[in-house]
């Protein structure tokens, strides 16, 4: 048959692997590598409109030495550090408790903690925006007043704004990280715990010498995506302030600065330069933490 002859000539032992991985290769080049190269090229240009492009070299990168960009980096870095400090250890410990054989309603707790991740970020952001508004009748200020506290302008002060953003992130992604750690816990052979219990190991010893080492890969993954999620945060801040702008840039993030430059001010070259800088920051931080955790070391070294 012609079809079978064609298959035998095309699908060989050497070409079959390339055929199977070709969808990934195509997607990688079209949706990652090409946009990345195109963004870098645009970062070296001043774009006034279609066909009206001027090559300006590193001028856009030199223009990043400004106070607004410094605020954006500081806000994104603090936000990332705080969310990692909360969203790695706490979900891990809670996952251990949920996974315990003595815990009842484990399925209910998994669903309840995961439910916020299914909520629209816009709807949730609007709720936090109104709940933490400066009015005395706002939900949080009413709670503060009932315990004798003083109402605050939550979204008009730097550290209270950061508190609300971190709280928003924690509420939304806490359950997702619990699911990650639960999947890692389910992969740990129970024989290790049984052998340790027979040898007289305490629950704390089993946690530190069995659970944590076996969850290293999951923990590294959670930290890696948390670094990306922290520096790439945009929707949460945008929905709470109703704009990429915020009083005194207290809620400005790096992606928010890209939005301001690229869309509000129509400086696509400048926005591209910020995007390339963000890519370098995320890659650098993740490479450092992957090297620090020994991810790149060969087994046996």
What value does the mean pLDDT take over residues 211-228?
Answer: 93
**Is the pLDDT confidence value at 136 over 90?**
no
CB–CB of 112/171 below 8 Å?
no
Q: What is the mean pLDDT of residues 178-188?
A: 92
Q: What's the pLDDT band for 2 if we cut at 50, 70, 90?
A: low
Where do the structural domains in the chain lie, given as residue ranges?
2-43, 64-292
Dist CA 205 CA 225 (whole Å):
29
For helices 216-231 and 158-186, angle between their N-to-C axes, nearest 10 degrees = 150
The kind and range of the H/E element at 244 are none
Largest CA distance in the chain: 86
CB-CB contact of 169 with 159 (8 Å): no
Q: Residue 42: which residues within 8 A CB-CB, separation 6 or more?
A: 268, 269, 272
pLDDT of residue 9: 62
Position 216 confidence tier, pLDDT thresholds 50, 70, 90 = very high
Q: What is the pLDDT of residues 26-56, one digit of tens each?
A: 999 999 999 999 999 999 999 877 777 889 9
Residue 5 has pLDDT above 70, yes or no: no
Q: 64-292 maps to which CATH number?
A: 1.10.3720.10
Q: How far apart are CA 44 and CA 41, in angstroms?
A: 5
Between the alpha carbon of residue 80 and those of residues 25, 86, 108, 164, the distances in Å are 31, 10, 29, 14
Q: What is the mean pLDDT of the chain?
A: 88
Q: Does the structure show a pLDDT above 70 at 6?
A: no
Q: What is the pLDDT of residues 88-120, one digit of tens each?
A: 999 999 999 888 877 788 888 888 888 898 888
Token code pair at residue 43: 């970062």
Q: pLDDT at position 8, please?
A: 58
Note whether 184 and 217 are within 8 A (CB): yes
Q: What is the pLDDT of residue 18?
A: 83
């Amino acid at each position: 048959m012609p079809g079978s002859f064609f298959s035998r000539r095309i699908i060989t032992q050497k070409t079959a692997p390339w055929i199977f991985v070709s969808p990934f290769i195509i997607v990688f080049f079209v949706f990652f590598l090409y946009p990345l190269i195109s963004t870098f090229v645009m970062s070296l240009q001043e774009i006034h409109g279609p066909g009206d492009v001027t090559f300006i070299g590193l001028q856009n990168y030199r223009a990043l030495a400004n106070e607004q960009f410094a605020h954006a980096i500081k806000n994104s870095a603090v936000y990332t550090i705080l969310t990692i400090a909360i969203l790695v250890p706490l979900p891990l410990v809670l996952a251990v408790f949920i996974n315990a054989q003595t815990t009842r309603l484990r399925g209910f707790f998994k669903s309840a903690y995961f439910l916020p991740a299914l909520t629209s970020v816009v709807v949730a952001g609007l709720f936090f925006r109104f709940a933490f508004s400066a009015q005395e009748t706002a939900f949080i200020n009413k709670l503060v007043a009932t315990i004798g506290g003083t109402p605050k302008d939550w979204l008009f002060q730097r550290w209270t704004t950061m508190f609300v953003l971190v709280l928003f992130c924690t509420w939304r992604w806490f359950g997702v990280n619990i699911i990650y750690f639960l999947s890692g816990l389910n992969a740990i052979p129970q024989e290790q715990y049984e052998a340790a219990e027979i040898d007289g190991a305490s629950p704390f010893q089993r946690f530190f010498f069995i659970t944590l080492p076996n969850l290293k890969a999951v923990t590294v993954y959670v930290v890696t995506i948390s670094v990306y999620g922290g520096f790439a945060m945009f929707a949460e801040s945008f929905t709470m302030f109703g704009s990429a702008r915020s009083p005194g840039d207290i809620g400005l993030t790096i992606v928010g600065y890209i939005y301001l430059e690229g869309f509000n001010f129509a400086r696509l070259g400048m926005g591209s330069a910020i995007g390339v800088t963000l890519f370098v920051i995320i890659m650098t931080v993740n490479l450092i933490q992957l090297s620090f955790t020994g991810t790149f070391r060969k087994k046996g070294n």
